[in-house]
Amino acid sequence: MANVKSYSQLLIELQKVRDKALKATGEKTKELVKEQIQQEVYNVPEGEYERTGQLKDSMTNFPLESKGNVAEVKIAHDIDSMTYDTEKFQHGSNYWEPNDYREYVAQTVHDGTSGNLFGVNKHWHEPKPYMDNAQKEMEDGKYKQFMKEEINKMGIKTK
């Protein structure tokens, strides 16, 4: 542990602890979202098209942003890591504008707002609220649990 001699040094050291714990919590949260995608999206049987798995694989926790008393980790889809194939209707189609639909895939799947191009009353018309579910888990105690685990790993006891 650091040898702190002033209040300002204490704040700096506490921010370092917070940032390290938050960065690791972001990684755990990304995995939680991926679990929700598996449960809500990929565990639904699909025989109509070939899945790529890229919705789950594109989950990323972007670098920690720390500015004084505020720190955050953004967890989102990295659409640049996804491919699109209009012939297979994977994240794109020649019938849509824009043809490259990667920017909208997550929201469409999450909200169940796919159109009727491939039929009506199919599973893709149903919401698959993986991000809402993960957020609720975090709000219901996972965030606190993850942060405590990470702070405890640094040798700091938490209650």
Phi, psi dihedral angles at 60 (to 5 degrees): -140, 145
Cis peptide before 98 (omega within 30 of 0): yes
- Domain locations in the chain as residue ranges: 7-153
pLDDT tops 80 at residue 97: no
Nearest to 75 by CA among 149, 141, 138, 126: 138
pLDDT tops 80 at residue 88: no
Q: Using one digit for the tens of pLDDT, what is the confidence trace for 15-68?
A: 999 999 999 999 999 999 999 999 999 998 876 677 889 999 999 999 999 998
Q: What is the mean pLDDT of the chain?
A: 90
CB 34 within 8 A of CB 42: no
Greater confidence (121 vs 128) lies with: 128
Q: For position 118, what pLDDT does the model report?
A: 67
Both tokens of 127, joined, read 């919401």
Q: For position 143, what pLDDT does the model report?
A: 97
Nearest to 33 by CA among 134, 137, 139, 142: 134
Q: b vs e for 103-134, b when ≥16 Cβ sit within 10 Å of the residue's Cβ?
A: eebbeebbeeeeeeeeeeeeebeeebbbbebb
* Bridge partners of residue 77, in order along the sequence: 59
Q: For position 90, what pLDDT does the model report?
A: 74
- For residues 95-115, average pLDDT: 85
